[in-house]
Amino acid sequence: MEKYYIGVDLGSTNIKTALYNSQFQMVSSLSHPVVYEREGGVVEFDAWDYCRNLSRMLAQLMKGMEGNALREISFTGQAESLVCVGADGKPLMNAISWMDERSTQECEVLSKIFTDEDVRKVTGQMTICPTWPATKILWLKSHRPDVYQNTATFMHLKDYVVFYLTGKKLADMSIATFSLYFDIYRKCYWQDMLKAIGIDESRLPALVEPCSEAGTLLPEVAAEIGAGDQTVVNVGTLDHFAAMVGTGNIAPGNINLSMGTVMVLATMAPTRDKLGDTVAVHYGFLPNTYVLLPVAASGGVSLEWFRRTCMPQVDYGELNQVLAQRKDCGKLLFLPYLVGTNAPDFDTDATGVFWGLRQSHDAFDMARAVMEGVAFLIRKNSQSLKDSNIPCENIVAVGGGTKSALWCQMWADATSIPVRIPQEQEAACLGAAMIGAVADGLFANYTAAVEKCVAIKAEYLPQPSEYYDGKYEKFCTLYDATIGINR
């Protein structure tokens, strides 16, 4: 009997599922949008509805298949979205999205108890912000005491989905990393933070290693989706970490670059020692490993913002065609900090800046400057990784930005690091399915899985450039010069 594996990406914009056979050819895939309720800084969604939609997607993938042929369903997805689960196993309210900003005052409360240094040494995170579930739970204590008191288990979304399918309350450590109450070095819950937010670990899921098998599907779930009663659910790992697996980044030396609306870099640390203090450290997808994950909130969105605002009549195809015929944009610079900057500077006051404009410049020159500015941000973060003793031998890139050969070459030239583009751009779903296949024994290890499943379709080798080296120095100088103005 043929064996099949499903990878599920529990995304913020869409739920994505992909079915693979034992040769790891994609048989089918589905996507379903996530609906939010937004008001001011409040961002919520219905976690029960999220699970029901996933069940329907899984049932559709299983049509025409023999149930026992499905070996594993493995998960990846967003972190930080909080589900408050009642004693009956159902959410007591909408899930609070990772994008929610209601807990700013609670951040101030916790910042009076814990310094950023306290937080970094235990959790690996750089600062206290509304993203973290710890701050959301403290908000519930003050503003929704009914929910706070009646919550049997506080869970991340991915952990809740695994519970929905298996009945097991488990917390994957790579997701727990993003709670602000997980000690990434001792691999346990941080008791001081739990005390500060007023809960104990009996109200949290049991911690397990990422990529662990949670167990088989509940009988009623298996019947609903058409799977066999021996189909296993794998807890998987964070979306960016699964994408590392799906692009072959399973050892130190490679940097994953996801160039979407948000720009994210991810790389494995060779050791927990001497990592520096300029990049957040996370518990990795392999036991006792660590991943550094610099994030730039306005990386990819900078170019879309400029095109939409200043040249809406020009599509990306025309933009790349015109810019490919131009050598450069001279001294024109752009700081891509439209929503402040995360790593490595962590400056919420930073702003976007064009510098060096002349009347000889046109909108295409400005677009080129935006693309260069994002490339310099990649260089700044890769340099920060190198300063933290992290080897940076290759960049493996996914996301919409990789459709531009010009931009990919720019990344290579600006960073002096080769840029590789994998064949499969839905790397998170692929990586999740590979995780399930390794756990099931289809592949002996991740190295064998990568050799079978991952292919590179293009490579951009860096071309030495005094132009980029000189402009990068000015890019850094320009940012430093704006600090006093912005504050």
Domains of the chain listed by start with CATH number: 4-240 (3.30.420.40), 248-422+455-487 (3.30.420.40)
How high is the pLDDT of residue 276?
64
How high is the pLDDT of residue 274?
62
Q: Please give the average pLDDT of every successive group of 10 residues along the chain, which has 487 residues.
A: 95 96 97 95 97 98 94 97 98 97 96 96 94 98 98 99 99 98 98 98 98 98 96 98 96 92 88 72 94 86 95 96 95 94 84 96 98 97 88 94 96 97 94 99 98 97 94 97 86
How high is the pLDDT of residue 261?
79
How high is the pLDDT of residue 342?
81
Give Cα 481 distance to the centre of its chain. Answer: 31
